[in-house]
Amino acid sequence: MGLKCAKLRRCCCLSCPSCLCSRCAETPQAAATGQFKVLLLGATGSGKTELGLQLSGKQRDPDDRGPTNGVRCYRSEGGVGDRDRDGTGEKVATLLLTEVGGSADMQRIWPYYYAACHALVFCFDLSESGDELRTNFDLLQRCLQHESVRGKPVLLVATRHRDGVQLYDVEHAFGLEQLARSTGCPLHLCHMSDGDLWQGVAWLQRLLLQLAPKLAQRIKYDVNLQSWQQRKRSLLSSGKLQRVHRQRFRRGHRRLWPMAQATHEVTRSQSHSQSPSRPQTAPPAIFFVRPAKS
């Protein structure tokens, strides 16, 4: 897998087998348009809400200017009528975007959304300082290294401008090419400007349509595994799983006597046939140890 930068004219997908660049191969047209769940993530103040509203074609409420402390949902058709944004005339996929807050507390619940998503859109503020950008891309690296995100398409969106800084500078400064190769995630880097953004969205839609069967099987497996892991943790915390194992594999304790004690017990049972330890209706002496003849 490799990185595709919207600012570069040449293909930089690094011989990716799923490369959708027109210079490499023609994209197979999907049989039908599908809906895909896309997770919209980023640090607090990175512009996630602004991006979600722009993709869904809505305006933000003037009274709603605070950071997202929860979840917001958007729907992006990505086209006008039967034509997509880049004018190719092909049917496009519908993106069901789920924005999750980027605070430290909200970042703890991000992994619970990874299994059910088809792709990831990660926002970062290009106008921030170098240390803040490093923190954001460290957060991106932890997301892509998660077992439920590896191999899924990722769209990186720079939400603001910074004088003298280009997207290819970000690519080389933070090792995005190596990150794409190590995690197996196809990456596309673009800016939030209208034309650049919709080219990135079109790339994501075509890739999702091409990988739809594989992603469906992957999500089914990941969701089932996540459900089992949560159930297992619940059983372990309540102690039910341990009790089930003890009942299932319980084995009766056997009392082993030395030979001398066994001989004494047999002799005593023969002399006291009416022993209270043995019922009168029981068959006489089914199991006993005969003393060795001298």
pLDDT at 59: 87
pLDDT value at position 208? 94
Please tell me the predicted confidence (pLDDT) of residue 188: 96
In this predicted structure, what is the pLDDT of residue 238?
76
Q: What is the pLDDT of residue 265?
A: 58
Mean pLDDT by 10 residues, the chain (294 residues): 52 40 36 78 93 90 82 79 47 88 93 95 93 94 95 94 86 93 95 87 94 93 90 80 53 54 57 57 60 63
| Residue at token pair 């372990």 | 236
Position 107 scores a pLDDT of 94
Question: Is the pTM of the predicted complex or chain greater than 0.75?
Answer: no
